């Protein structure tokens, strides 16, 4: 079955620095979604990417979908303490509407 | 807030018991998906309901079952609870299949 992998599992960042988290799928995806989960909270939708090579920005967050639609990345610039949490990518493929989540990247920020 | 609500918030059960979790989808949404999130892991898809019919199922045994009602709210039932069933159970609603899913706050189930 479809597997979605994320690296790194943990990201410890100095406030103000940039970082990137990566997502790779074992199969071609029809779309990929990114979610953020704060400690003790539930996943909150950030963005969906559908097109090959698509790039979308949300303020300091840049999301990219690979040309082969099998990988994605999330880049955060000038990290702030509000960026703390776990970032999940989730993909679906073909007519299978279920979302397969990665294990997430847990981000901590040093002030 | 997404408008998706779940009840109860927390639940403690013992092995072998049965549990029913409830989810009210966001207004206008006819699709509900259920996920199990173990501590430190990503959500795992259990199943999805679309217009009261099961539309897909993940790798969960038959003791995990569900329902969707005409108002599109949904239930997740788990029979013969096992210790490994301890997790956060999330429901997510969307306005149509393959659309963006909006998660509820979850039900934290502890099986002793």
Band of pLDDT at residue A92, cut at 50, 70 and 90? confident
Cβ–Cβ of B55/A48 closer than 8 Å? no
Tell if the CB–CB gap between A97 and B100 is shorter than 8 Å. Answer: no
A51 to chain B nearest CA, in Å? Answer: 15
Burial B72-100 (b: 16+ CB within 10 A, else e): bbbbbebeebeeebbbbbbbbbbeebbee
Tens digits of pLDDT across chain B (112 residues):
678 999 999 999 999 999 999 999 988 888 999 999 999 899 999 999 998 999 889 999 999 999 999 999 999 999 999 999 999 999 999 887 667 889 999 999 999 9
Interchain pair B98, A97: CB under 8 A:
yes
3-state SS, residue B29: coil
Q: How far is B83 from chain A (nearest CA, A)?
A: 21
pLDDT score for B99: 73
> Residue B59: how many CB atoms within 10 A of its CB?
8
Look at residue B98 in the predicted model and tell me its pLDDT.
Answer: 61
Cis amide linkage into residue A8, ω under 30° from 0: yes
pLDDT at B79: 97
Mean pLDDT, chain B, whole residue set: 93
């Amino acid at each position: 079955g479809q597997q979605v992998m994320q690296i790194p599992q943990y990201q410890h960042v100095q406030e103000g620095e940039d970082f990137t988290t990566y997502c790779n799928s074992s199969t071609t995806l029809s779309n990929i979604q990114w979610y953020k989960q704060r400690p003790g909270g539930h996943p909150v939708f950030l963005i969906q990417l559908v097109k090959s090579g698509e790039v979308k920005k949300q303020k300091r967050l840049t999301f990219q979908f690979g040309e082969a639609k099998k990988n994605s990345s999330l880049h955060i610039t000038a990290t702030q303490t509000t960026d703390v949490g776990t970032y999940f990518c989730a993909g679906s493929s073909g007519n299978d509407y279920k979302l397969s989540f990665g294990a997430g990247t847990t981000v901590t920020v040093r002030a | 807030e997404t408008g998706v609500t779940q009840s109860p918030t927390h639940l403690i059960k013992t092995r072998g018991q049965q549990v029913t979790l409830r989810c009210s989808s966001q207004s206008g949404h006819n699709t509900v998906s259920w996920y199990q999130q173990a501590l430190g892991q990503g959500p795992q898809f259990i199943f999805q309901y679309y217009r009261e019919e099961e539309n897909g199922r993940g790798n969960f045994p038959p003791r995990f079952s569900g329902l969707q009602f005409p108002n599109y709210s949904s239930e997740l039932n788990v029979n013969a609870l096992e210790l490994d069933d301890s997790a956060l159970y999330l429901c997510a609603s969307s306005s149509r299949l393959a659309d963006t899913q909006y998660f509820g706050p979850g039900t934290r189930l502890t099986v002793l």
